[in-house]
Amino acid sequence: MRKKYDVVVVGAGPIGSYTAYQLADKGFDVCLLDEKENIGEDVICAGVIGKDAFKRYDLPSKSILSRIDSATFISPSGQRLEYEPQDVFAYVLSRNILDKGILKLAKKIGADVILKQKVKDIKENSGYYTIVCNKKKYHAKTVVLATGINYELHSKIGMSKPPKFLYGSQIEIPISFSQSNIQIHIGHKFVPGSFGWVIPAGDNSSRIGVIVNRKGRIWLERMLEQRLNFSVKKLNKDELKLKPIAYGPIKKSVKGNILAIGEAAGQVKTTTGGAIFYGLLCSEIAVDKLSKTIKNGCSLNDYELAWRSALASELDIGKRLRKIALTLDDEKIEKLFTFVKKNRFWVQLLVPRIDFDYHSNLIFFCLKSFGSLMKIPKRW
């Protein structure tokens, strides 16, 4: 008799592995497949995650490289605004240790982890799915697509891709700018309509990156040279990594008893490109809905409704902010920095609205408060 799993999860990134872990923990028969042999290696990611997210989920604490207790926002001309809360508010993680750690949890709790298995197709036959790999086939009642930015299976089963992509470019260099501070660089000269970062990554090294609409590597080189006075000639260009980042959710994340999750569903912050927390949050929702589908045959459509009601407005407001940011020239950005620095009470009004994972409250407040100063049209 061929084995039929309750769930086959395709993709052992953090979101796929965490979903497999939770499902196996609930006693379901789970198989986790990934085309890679070495999970967590060569991942392009800044690895920043909010402290609360780390508390909420069983993430391996060994993956923490740095504890972040302040952020400095830097204007095009170099004006600085400091955010210094009382305590650590985020961590910088080693994706290698994080991804391997979550995979290990899934395996330990009983999921069948099978690597070097590229899933080529998914076929439905009499209420079950056949997951087709190069040489093997797997069978399951339900399927989770956690394939990151690989959307090949989506088109095979009739799901769409995200509407658009941003591009993240990053390099890790053996220089320490700070042990616990994140720098956020803003301005058209370096990162048009977006931002660049300098992040401490433990062991005297830093991650420097940008997230932009296009030409990621070129903007990163510009930031390194003109902003950080770092000669790009000293670098091996292959170390300037580039990766698309889903910008906006896919149209439908459920098809029969198949669901998409994490970056595969476009569950990515439209403000910063951060995806781990939103993916984990949706993984919690997915596990609840999948349990009901497997046990009682309930429709998976509830998954779609639940995650969108949790995140849709955040994703939407982030997109609006990006649209506005593209219209702000460096002069307007300088004006805002000067205004807030001169009128320090604004800092007291802004700080309580800062949340690492939910940005809409702060965005609404800023647009209302500074809209006329920045000449932002009233109907944004």
Positions in the binding site for ligand FAD (CB under 6 A): 10-16, 33-36, 44-49, 118-119, 146-148, 150, 153, 168, 170, 209, 243, 245, 262-264, 268, 273-277, 279
- In whole angstroms, give the CA distance from residue 210 to residue 192: 10
What's the min distance (Å) between Cβ of 55 and ligand FAD?
15
Q: How far apart are CA 252 and CA 283, in angstroms?
A: 16
Q: How far is the CB of 337 from ligand FAD (least distance, A)?
A: 24
- Of residues 165 and 337, the one with the C-beta less far from ligand FAD: 165
CB nearer to ligand FAD: give 32 or 336.
32
| Orientation angle between helical segments 276-296 and 14-25, nearest 10 degrees | 40
Q: Which is nearer to ligand FAD, 48 or 143 (CB)?
A: 48
DSSP 73-119: EE-TT--EEEE--SS--EEEE-HHHHHHHHHHHHHHHT-EEE-S--E
In the complex with ligand FAD, which residue's Cβ is closer, 4 or 36? 36
Is residue 114 classed as helix, strand or coil in its secondary structure?
strand
Nearer to ligand FAD, 162 or 187 (CB): 162
Strands 112-114 and 30-33: parallel
Least Å distance, CB 281 to ligand FAD, is 11
Minimum CB–partner distance for residue 360 and ligand FAD (Å): 17
Report d(CA 318, CA 41) in Å as an integer: 30
Q: Are strands 191-200 and 206-212 parallel, antiparallel or unpaired?
A: antiparallel
Which residue's CB is nearer to ligand FAD, number 28 or number 138? 138
Using CA atoms, how far residue 305 sits from 238, 278, 302, 344, in Å, is: 42, 15, 5, 42
For residue 269, the minimal CB distance to ligand FAD (Å) is 8
Min. distance of Cβ 13 from ligand FAD in angstroms?
2
